[in-house]
Chains A and B, each alone.
Chain A
Amino acid sequence: MTIREAIRVVWSRRYAVCAVILAGAVAAFIGWKLSKPSFAATAAVMMNAEEAQGTSVSSGGFLGGDMPSMLLSDTVLTRFIKQEHITHTSLKSLRKAIDAVIMPESAVMPITYHAGSAEAAVNGANTLAEDLHQYYSEISTRRYDDLAHYLSTALDGERAKIIDSDRQLETLVGSDPYFTQNEAAQAIGAQLLALNQQRDAVDATMQGHAIAATMSGHEMTDLMPTVKNELRQTDPVFSTLAAEVAKDKTAAAVLAAQYTDKYAGIQSMEDQIQRTDKVLQAEQQRADAENPAGSATYGQLLRDKDAASAVVASDQAQLATIDRQISETESHLAKVPALSAKVAALRSDRDAATTAYQILAEQRTLTLSQQAQAAALSSVTVVDRATVAEPSISKARVLIPIASLLGFAVLAIALPFGLELVDERLRRRITIETLYGRPLIGTVSV
């Protein structure tokens, strides 16, 4: 295709070309309008001088030239996105918003962050500096993290062992207070001896009380005549008859003193006395057959006897209790060897766990101190925080309109040729000759 033909092709589609160029201009204007203004804020960080010169690389440190790569790493940027609550952005676009370059002989690296607002730019620059500082510290101390984690885990395990041993010992000791003492068998023996002595004492007391109770029974038998006499005295009929007999006997004595035996009254008096005496005898028998409980003496005797019996019963109960305690103590004494061995094993385990715990704790302390030392030596320090943001020319604000114009211009130029390619109409010589397979002899107007 000659230049003339190309121009003809473009000219034949001139309206479409103009429309596309106009659309490009509109798109460029819209892109310029829609693109947000940009602000840039700068913070500065400084690396440890030795690391900046690369002298600590052999010991696992970092070069100053590594700082930009660290800053733009996925880890730092991901943290930055979370801290700043940035949504709808990618790490790639975020990297474009960050400028961080360090000079070869410098230990200070400025970090410039571009954002849509001055506040976001300042916050972003400072957050990036802080994140870089934190990330450097983490990397420097990360080699100690695994050891510290292992030691912490081991410490937790030993602590759990100690607590478990204590709990088992507590359970054993709680079930048998003798095991709180080292010489449990001796303690139980002493307790058994005390119980036997107490039993002997109670037994002796009980024997005394039993004798006292027996004596109370005997005393009751001995005092029975007194009780009966007391019952007669308290019987009103017997008392009346006895008084009458006594009075009759007194009257007979008076008569005998005043008269001789020949006096007839004496004889009748004696007869009356005999009859009354018989009645009195009968009444005495009846009174003797009465319940002796009516006698105060008899009642007292009964209470004394019951009290003595109660004391004996109490002594017997105490004796039974002591016997049971002696039996239980003897049972404990039989179990002492097995439980003592278990307690000893638990105490041994606990002592071993305590020793291991102390060793691990010392190692962990040492590790943490080394980690802190490494963190102090391998550090990045924020030396200058961003305070203000300056307006900057956004790349997008410039590139979008230019790209739109260029893109649409290319499209406008390419469009006629593209349409020409897909156009199946017989417009060009090559099309006609290709279709018919013969040369185009000429073109005429008819």
Chain B
Amino acid sequence: MSNAETTINPFMMIRTSIEAELPAPGVLIVSSALGSDGKSGVAAGIARSLASAGYATLAVDAGGAGLHGTSVETAIERVGDSARRLAAGCDYIALAPDHARAASATAIRTLYDAMRARYDYAVVDAAVIGNGGLALSRPADGVVLAVRQGRAVTDADRDAVQLFERLHVRFLGVIATLDGGTTGETGPQTLLEYLQESQNVRRIPAGAVDDAPVRGVAFERLSASRDLAVARLRRLFSRSGV
């Protein structure tokens, strides 16, 4: 049994649940209450699984790792212009985090409509709920939260649940993530890196925004560094049984 198979297998069950809860076409948001809960790995796994099942799948990185992503408007355009999809694999597009956070609900709905028009499933690797993930979750067809198993419960978890209930977000369920040893400084960090581990990925070409520095780059870098440090501490505490 290959490493890829052992990694994908749990996602087959998850995919089945998603198919039942969220018929195609649909936009699925993968978010989390805290950073470093493994949402990028979960989003990549779901996208791979759906793509492997034959669904036209678009993986969207809106979680902050795509520092050179496109704006929402450009993404609408690019998604609509994409000619075809890969036979085996998924399409990938990155949204600039600050653009994603600044986008209106209407723009996001338009983007989601474009995605539904072109793809069976769009899996969005969103930022944490409290940092823009909620705005992406509201117009989506369903939301799953990635939770790092073994970490302590925080107020962010409770706040996320309350926000979902109050804003009528379609919360499908939770996916627990275990530390598989693939994360860290040498492992994949972004959605694209996860996807490229085992599958063909076609990157949808971005516009001028792709290569231009975006606002909030410094903030995003700091946030990523903080999330990385938090993840290391959690793994350390988890192994020591604290």
Q: Which residues of A contact B (CB under 8 A)?
A: 12-13, 424-427, 431-433, 435-446
Contacts of B151 in A (CB 8 A): 425-426
CB distance from B239 to the nearest CB of A (A): 11
Give A223 to B162 CA distance when docked, in angstroms: 166
Give A418 to B104 CA distance when docked, in angstroms: 49
Is B42 interfacial (CB-CB < 8 Å)?
yes
Give A323 to B152 CA distance when docked, in angstroms: 129
Complex contact A440–B174 (CB within 8 A): yes
Complex contact B11–A444 (CB within 8 A): yes
Most buried by B among A431, A436, A437: A436
Known: A13-B241, A432-B149; 9 extra A-B contacts, CB below 8 A, are A436-B157, A441-B144, A441-B174, A442-B17, A443-B175, A444-B38, A445-B179, A446-B177, A446-B183
Contacts of B17 in A (CB 8 A): 441-442
Give A445 to B182 CA distance when docked, in angstroms: 9
Contacts of A425 in B (CB 8 A): 150-153, 238
Complex contact B178–A435 (CB within 8 A): no
Complex contact B10–A436 (CB within 8 A): no
Interface residues of B in 183-203 (CB under 8 A from A): 183, 194
15 A-B residue pairings within 8 Å (CB atoms): A425-B150, A426-B147, A426-B148, A426-B150, A427-B149, A432-B176, A436-B157, A436-B173, A441-B175, A442-B176, A443-B10, A443-B176, A444-B41, A444-B45, A446-B40
CB distance from B197 to the nearest CB of A (A): 11
Complex contact A442–B14 (CB within 8 A): yes
Considering only CB atoms, which chain B residue lies closest to A12 in the complex? B241
Contacts of A12 in B (CB 8 A): 241
Query: A441-B14, A446-B182 are contacts. A436–B153 as well, Cβ < 8 Å?
Result: no
Is B214 interfacial (CB-CB < 8 Å)?
no
CB distance from A373 to the nearest CB of B (A): 81
Contacts of A445 in B (CB 8 A): 7, 10, 177-182
Complex contact A442–B10 (CB within 8 A): yes
The range of chain B's interface size is 35 or more
Contacts of A13 in B (CB 8 A): 241
Give A363 to B182 CA distance when docked, in angstroms: 109
Complex contact A436–B177 (CB within 8 A): no
Contacts of A431 in B (CB 8 A): 153
Give A426 to B183 CA distance when docked, in angstroms: 19
Is B24 interfacial (CB-CB < 8 Å)?
no
Complex contact A438–B173 (CB within 8 A): yes
CB distance from A416 to the nearest CB of B (A): 11
Give A426 to B161 CA distance when docked, in angstroms: 15
- Shortest Cβ-Cβ A-B pairs, 9 listed: A446-B41, A445-B180, A441-B173, A446-B38, A442-B14, A443-B176, A444-B10, A445-B178, A438-B173
Complex contact B178–A438 (CB within 8 A): no
Contacts of B178 in A (CB 8 A): 443-446
A443's partner among B149, B152, B160, B194 (CB-CB below 8 A) is B149
Is B84 interfacial (CB-CB < 8 Å)?
no
Query: A426-B147, A426-B148, A444-B10 are contacts. A435–B158 as well, Cβ < 8 Å?
Result: yes
CB distance from A440 to the nearest CB of B (A): 5
Complex contact B172–A441 (CB within 8 A): yes
Query: A424-B152, A437-B161, A444-B41 are contacts. A432–B174 as well, Cβ < 8 Å?
Result: yes
Contacts of A438 in B (CB 8 A): 171-174
Give A439 to B158 CA distance when docked, in angstroms: 15
CB distance from B128 to the nearest CB of A (A): 15
CB distance from A446 to the nearest CB of B (A): 3
Give A444 to B11 CA distance when docked, in angstroms: 7
Is B145 interfacial (CB-CB < 8 Å)?
yes
Considering only CB atoms, which chain B residue lies closest to A436 in the complex? B174
Contacts of B157 in A (CB 8 A): 435-436
Is B229 interfacial (CB-CB < 8 Å)?
no
Considering only CB atoms, which chain B residue lies closest to A446 in the complex? B41
CB distance from B48 to the nearest CB of A (A): 11
Most buried by B among A431, A432, A439, A440: A432
Complex contact B171–A444 (CB within 8 A): no
CB distance from B4 to the nearest CB of A (A): 13
Contacts of B150 in A (CB 8 A): 425-427
Is B236 interfacial (CB-CB < 8 Å)?
no
Give A270 to B152 CA distance when docked, in angstroms: 188
CB distance from B133 to the nearest CB of A (A): 15
Give A427 to B158 CA distance when docked, in angstroms: 16
Contacts of B42 in A (CB 8 A): 444, 446
Considering only CB atoms, which chain A residue lies closest to B14 in the complex? A442
Interface residues of B in 93-135 (CB under 8 A from A): none
Considering only CB atoms, which chain B residue lies closest to A439 in the complex? B173
Contacts of B148 in A (CB 8 A): 426
Give A443 to B173 CA distance when docked, in angstroms: 12
Contacts of A427 in B (CB 8 A): 149-150
Interface residues of B in 8-51 (CB under 8 A from A): 10-11, 13-14, 17-18, 38, 40-42, 45
Complex contact A426–B176 (CB within 8 A): yes
Considering only CB atoms, which chain B residue lies closest to A429 in the complex? B176
Contacts of B149 in A (CB 8 A): 426-427, 432, 443
